[in-house]
């Protein structure tokens, strides 16, 4: 097996990976909790009320205040539940929503199929690995530790926004120029477009569920893999003849 | 004015500063919100119930799950309010507690007296400054940005625990050995003892309110300043004859 040669011009040296829904399952737990939210709130509102829409709007207006993560999501669920029911929702349901948030935080880390093998293979091929994730510092650090993957990564970058400037800083902190940097993630908007904009490589590995706030319009000209298992082969194919 | 000489043996080169209640006011807003919590919950419980104790216990059992910060505090207030009232608390009060949490997050950054002058003076004297703070990534970044102090600091380290190992890593990331590193903060437990343990310098600048979870027993042999205004003089005095 040929090792990746970082001295090759334009060769990818650093592979950066998103965490939630790229390394492990996450959105599926948000979806499950949101179904519980809908079920609890439905007891108090007419059938034509769009309960999911109400939650989406509360999440949206709180995004600048709460940032990303389960705690902010739980607080937005509570606010939306009170708002959409005009205060009619009971303390019993509030308590159940609080418990649903705690259950999400306590859930064991569930690696996506292939992740463990692929991380090992990339490390063996000489790629330097870094995690770049948005979200809650405390919970993300807990998940990375619990994933058992900590020692594969040279750095863990928990960032508050994924924009071109953030990726420029991450590449610099790894000591490489953008053409030697490749980001891998499930969000075209957060993991692909801003990296292409700053001159790096990026590849989209879709997850079967996407958070409504992460949907992005794009021209379809984005490298996409069906599974993270295809990542080592794709990286090799970028090395040219 | 003599510049600090980092080549001097044992000289302090890096000054690390805690943020909440060291650079700006924070605990005072938690206290204010907790008084509101007590007032709202009191409507539903007998006068001999220790409402503050109930909140303390809920915060304590959630600390590993929520980490530090306002979002976790708000979630713990809601949980404690439902628990201590046996579910009797109304949706109106729940809504008011949610609003109190949002108010805390939205509050402008209020620098502690002297901080602005002292940061300028330390930078002029050649000290390299870094912020080391626990808490919520999103909110801490927002506050540092809003403080207007960003350009004084070489790095911002938002950490999930303040233990000797964390400080060892921060000193290493600044490229200095522990004897060239000095931490300044309002918590003996988080900002002083772990730094002394890893071989660095530390100085305690008490804030007039201390979070119950931060109280620590110590032998009184900790360098303490009455105000951050005394910091430049204290650092100079460490330089010896």
Answer yes or no: do A101 and B158 touch at CB < 8 A. no
- Give whole-number Cα distances, B37 to B34, B50, B77, B94, B212, in Å: 5, 12, 7, 10, 16
Cα–Cα distance, B196 to B182 (Å, whole number)? 9
Beta bridge pairs of residue A147: none
| Residue of B136, B172, B174 to mutate, interface with A, max A Cβ within 10 Å | B136
Tens-place pLDDT, residues B2-48:
444 444 555 899 999 999 999 999 999 999 999 999 999 999 999 99
Mean pLDDT of B76-103: 97
Tens-place pLDDT, residues A17-64:
999 999 999 999 999 999 999 999 999 999 999 999 999 999 999 998
Instruction: Return the top range by mean pLDDT from A6-10, A153-157, A236-240.
Output: A153-157
Tens-place pLDDT, residues A70-102:
999 999 999 999 999 999 999 999 999 999 999
CB-based contact, B208 to chain A, within 8 Å: no
Share of chain A above pLDDT 90, in %: 71
Binning pLDDT at 50, 70 and 90, where does residue A1 land?
very low
Question: Looking at residue B218, what is its pLDDT?
Answer: 58
Nearest chain B alpha carbon to A140: B160
Tens-place pLDDT, residues B207-240:
976 655 555 555 567 889 999 999 999 999 887 5
Chain pair A-B, CB pairs under 8 angstroms: 83
Answer yes or no: do B75 and A75 touch at CB < 8 A. yes
CA distance to partner chain A, nearest, from residue B61 (Å): 12
pLDDT at A185 over 60: yes
Answer yes or no: do B137 and A136 touch at CB < 8 A. yes
Cα–Cα distance, A109 to A25 (Å, whole number)? 8
CB-based contact, B137 to chain A, within 8 Å: yes
Q: Domains in chain A, ordered, with CATH?
A: 14-24+109-237 (3.40.50.1000), 27-106 (1.10.150.240)
Number of H helices, E strands in chain B: 9, 5
Closest CA to A204 of A228, A236, A180, A178: A228
Beta bridge pairs of residue A156: A131
What string of DSSP letters covers B62-90? HHHHH-SSHHHHHHHHHHHHHHHTTT-S-
Question: Looking at residue B158, what is its pLDDT?
Answer: 86
Closest CA to A41 of A54, A30, A51, A56: A51
Answer yes or no: do B79 and A71 touch at CB < 8 A. no
Question: Looking at residue A86, what is its pLDDT?
Answer: 96
CB-based contact, A87 to chain B, within 8 Å: yes
Entry pTM: 0.83
Nearest chain B alpha carbon to A85: B91
Residue the block writes with tokens 């029911």: A85
The strands making up A128-134's β-sheet, listed across from edge to edge, are A155-159, A128-134, A14-17, A181-185, A201-204
Facing A82 at nearest CB: one of B89, B91, B137: B91
Question: Looking at residue B74, what is its pLDDT?
Answer: 98
Please, what is the average pLDDT of chain A?
89
Mean pLDDT of B95-106: 96
CA distance to partner chain A, nearest, from residue B231 (Å): 30
- Which chain A residues are Cβ-neighbours of B58 within 8 angstroms? none
Answer yes or no: do B75 and A79 touch at CB < 8 A. no
Question: Looking at residue B6, what is its pLDDT?
Answer: 44
CA distance to partner chain A, nearest, from residue B153 (Å): 16
Q: What ipTM, to 2 d.p.? A: 0.81
Mean pLDDT of A107-131: 94
Question: Looking at residue B76, what is its pLDDT?
Answer: 98
In A113-240, which ranges are E strands? 128-134, 155-159, 181-185, 201-204
pLDDT at A214 over 60: no
CA distance to partner chain B, nearest, from residue A220 (Å): 32
Spatial contact of B217 and B104, defined as CB atoms under 8 Å apart: no
Tens-place pLDDT, residues B151-207:
899 988 888 889 999 999 999 989 999 999 999 999 999 999 999 999 999 999 999
């Amino acid at each position: 097996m040929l090792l990746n040669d970082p001295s090759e011009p334009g060769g990818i040296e650093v592979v950066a990976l998103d965490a939630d829904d790229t390394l492990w399952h996450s959105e599926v737990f948000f979806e499950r909790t949101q179904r519980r939210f809908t079920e609890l709130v439905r007891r108090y509102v007419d059938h034509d009320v769009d309960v999911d829409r109400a939650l989406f709007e509360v999440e949206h207006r709180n995004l600048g205040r709460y940032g990303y993560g389960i705690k902010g999501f739980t607080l937005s669920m509570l606010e939306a539940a009170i708002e959409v029911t005009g205060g009619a929702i009971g303390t019993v349901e509030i308590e159940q929503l609080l418990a649903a948030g705690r259950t999400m935080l306590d859930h064991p880390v569930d690696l996506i199929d292939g992740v463990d093998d692929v991380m090992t293979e990339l490390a063996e091929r000489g790629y330097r690995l870094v995690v770049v994730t948005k979200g809650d510092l405390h919970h993300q650090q807990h998940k990375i530790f619990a994933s058992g993957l900590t020692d594969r990564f040279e750095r863990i970058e928990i960032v508050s926004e994924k924009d071109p400037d953030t990726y420029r800083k991450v590449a610099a902190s790894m000591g490489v120029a953008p053409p030697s940097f490749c980001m891998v993630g499930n969000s075209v908007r957060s993991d692909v477009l801003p990296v292409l904009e700053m001159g790096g490589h990026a590849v989209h590995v879709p997850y079967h569920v996407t958070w409504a706030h992460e949907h992005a319009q794009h021209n379809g000209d984005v490298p996409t893999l069906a599974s993270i298992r295809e990542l080592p082969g794709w990286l090799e194919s970028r090395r040219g003849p």
